[in-house]
Amino acid sequence: MSNQKEKAIDVEKLLKNKLKSVSIGDLEDAIAKVVTEMVGEDYKCTISEVKYTLFSGADFHVKIELTYNPED
């Protein structure tokens, strides 16, 4: 027998989708910032077709584009 205790699933927590309280604009900005830092060029992010799932998740389309700055 296993000495590890099994954790009970918190159904209330699972059904309460906290992603709905996250601003899509803030998420776009955060993704763009990470990609910009990784690549070394300025990128922008656009999120569309957001569908929240029952179990605290979300499906969405992410578009990442290089921003054009003629001053660079």
How much is the pLDDT for 64?
97
**Model confidence over 14-64: pLDDT tens digits?**
677 888 889 999 999 999 999 999 999 999 999 999 999 877 889 999 999
| pTM, 2 dp | 0.72
d(C-alpha 14, C-alpha 54), whole Å: 8
Q: Smallest Cα–Cα separation from 20: which of 49, 45, 51, 46?
A: 51
d(C-alpha 15, C-alpha 12), whole Å: 5
| Cβ-proximal residues to 53 (8 Å cutoff; 6+ apart), any chain | 17, 59
How many C-alpha atoms does 53 have within 13 Å on its Cβ side? 7
How much is the pLDDT for 2?
52
Task: Please state the domain extents for the chain.
Answer: 21-66
